[in-house]
Amino acid sequence: MNLDLAPDPLLAVPGPSQIPPRVMRAMMRVVDHRSPHFHRLYRDVVEGLQYVFRTSGDVYPITASGTGAVEAMVLNFVKPGDVVLVPVFGSFSRRLINHLRRVGAEVVEVDYGWSSAPTYEDLKARVESMGLKRIDVFATVYNETNPGLTFRDLPKVARWIKSYGTLVLVDNVSALGGDYFEVDSWGIDVAVSSSQKCLAAPPVMSFIAVATKEAYRKAESVNHPSIYFDIRLMRRFAERFETPFTPAVNYLFAIREALGIIREVGLENWIRWHIERGRAIVNALVKAGLEPFVSNDYHRSNTVLSFKYPTAVNPEEFRKTMYRLGVSISDAMDDIKGKAFRIGNMGYLTRRDVLTLVAAIVTVAAMANRVDEVGIGIFEEVLRYWEPPQFSVDEG
């Protein structure tokens, strides 16, 4: 099938996300990665990343997917035999456990199934009942991309778990910039994320933030076989504003532009845009008769919205028809595959995009269930939500 003349679909998947034209244009540039031009680029990118991670610590860009950044975090900050506590509430916390076991960690799982995230009170009670004498590392996903859950009690849990002398490692690949997250004030030692989700930049880059002296001390004691993901090497090269190996230079120009847009809008407003837009999408689809997969508002992610498939709908046919209408959404994964679809409420998703998304879902669901009329209130939700003035086409 030749799709050269077919329009690209609207990206409403949990990454990659829609990218502003300014960011795409910025990518059409490359410089020597050992030059003064690159040194300036590196400094700008790191300062922008410190802004979105909310940290005064170090942040290192890595030419790799988010999974690469998670692997780098585990390789550098977990030793064989470390007791690592992991709350499990979706596919990526399970993948994190796989990373940890491969480096020889003794993983202690606290399972929350597929429809709820940990709470401080419950996690504390369950861990204390285990009688653990030590917890070397607390490793967790903050925003579970499958099924779409957020660990909102993480700040309280991080403060409590530090009483064990524990290092706190966090995977926040799918919510950095799209929800509140503060490395320094929450007591996080190391956090990772990537470019192609809420930051509205192209895929291929990820980031690792190292915020504390304790994290660096741990890294000095860890021996691992990786050269490419060696944080000590990254730190040494960062002193001269470089990466150890050739990075995706043109993508760094795009990331600098994306981070610059977030600064123009203001991080608080950028996050608010994600929250208000996500709420409008949920409200509109609920009015259309769809049921959120995550029923608890407190646990539901702002950036990955999951819904049960409409009745009388074949999941694969539902997504295929959506794609024919020009909208790309994702199936759920693993144990809940075929039971829910996922929407990426990420990055540069404009009001026009949201209207297209909602209208396509409502159309396919109505066709499957032979519904002739839909309520106007569905589309009023799209019109009413707040957006930054930089992206508004309102007059006056």
Classify each residue of 247-272 as buried b or exposed e, where b means 16 or more C-beta atoms within 10 Å of its C-beta: bbbbbbbbbbbbbebbeebeeebbbe
CATH number reported for the structural domain that contains residue 368 in this entry: 3.90.1150.10
The answer to whether residue 393 sits within a structural domain is: no
The answer to whether residue 3 sits within a structural domain is: no
The answer to whether residue 101 sits within a structural domain is: yes
Model pLDDT for residues 35-65, shown as the tens digit of each residue: 999 999 999 999 999 999 999 999 999 999 9
**259, 383: one domain:** no
Q: Are strands 58-63 and 167-171 parallel, antiparallel or unpaired?
A: unpaired
**334, 309: one domain:** yes
**260, 272: one domain:** no
**235, 336: one domain:** no
Q: State the pLDDT at residue 393.
A: 76
Model pLDDT for residues 282-320, shown as the tens digit of each residue: 999 999 999 999 999 999 999 999 999 988 899 999 999
Contacts 24+ apart (CB under 8 A), 294-298: 294/115, 294/116, 294/147, 294/148, 294/149, 295/115, 296/115, 296/116, 298/152
User: How many alpha carbons lie under 13 Å from residue 306 in its C-beta half-sphere?
Assistant: 28
**114, 222: one domain:** yes
Q: From CA 216, how far away is CA 231, in angstroms rounded?
A: 9
Query: Shortest CA distance to 259 belongs to which of 203, 198, 174, 189?
Result: 198
Q: Are strands 190-194 and 330-331 parallel, antiparallel or unpaired?
A: unpaired
Q: Residue 237: left if φ>0, alpha if ψ -120 to 50, beta else—which one? A: alpha
The answer to whether residue 360 sits within a structural domain is: yes
**200, 316: one domain:** no
Number of domains the chain contains = 2
List the Cα angle 26/330/327 in 5-degree steps. Answer: 65
**205, 313: one domain:** no
The domain boundary residue, chosen from 237, 264, 291: 264
pLDDT in tens, the chain (396 residues): 677 888 899 999 999 999 999 999 999 999 999 999 999 999 999 999 999 999 999 999 999 999 999 999 999 999 999 999 999 999 999 999 999 999 999 999 999 999 999 999 999 999 999 999 999 999 999 999 999 999 999 999 999 999 999 999 999 999 999 999 999 999 999 999 999 999 999 999 999 999 999 999 999 999 999 999 999 999 999 999 999 999 999 999 999 999 999 999 999 999 999 999 999 999 999 999 999 999 999 999 999 999 999 888 999 999 999 999 999 999 999 999 999 999 999 999 999 999 999 999 999 998 887 666 677 788 899 999 999 999 987 654
Q: From CA 391, how far away is CA 184, in angstroms rounded?
A: 30
E strand segments, the chain = 10-11, 58-63, 83-88, 106-111, 137-141, 143-144, 149-150, 167-171, 190-194, 205-210, 304-308, 327-328, 330-331, 340-344
**214, 284: one domain:** no
**213, 299: one domain:** no
Angle between helices 66-77 and 213-221 in degrees, nearest 10? 70
The answer to whether residue 395 sits within a structural domain is: no
Sign of the alpha-carbon dihedral angle for 238, 239, 240, 245: negative
Outline where 131-223 has alpha helix (H): 154-161, 183-186, 213-221
**177, 291: one domain:** no
Q: From CA 297, how far away is CA 278, in angstroms rounded?
A: 12
**68, 211: one domain:** yes
The domain boundary residue, chosen from 239, 264, 289: 264
The answer to whether residue 4 sits within a structural domain is: no
Q: Please, are residues 15 and 200 in contact by the beta-carbon 8 Å criterion?
A: no
The answer to whether residue 173 sits within a structural domain is: yes
The domain boundary residue, chosen from 214, 231, 264: 264
Q: State the pLDDT at residue 396.
A: 45
CATH number reported for the structural domain that contains residue 67 in this entry: 3.40.640.10
The answer to whether residue 106 sits within a structural domain is: yes
- Cα distances (Å, whole numbers) of residue 115 to 88, 231, 320, 340: 11, 35, 26, 11
**94, 217: one domain:** yes
Domain range for 82? 21-264
Q: Please, are residues 146 and 117 in contact by the beta-carbon 8 Å criterion?
A: no
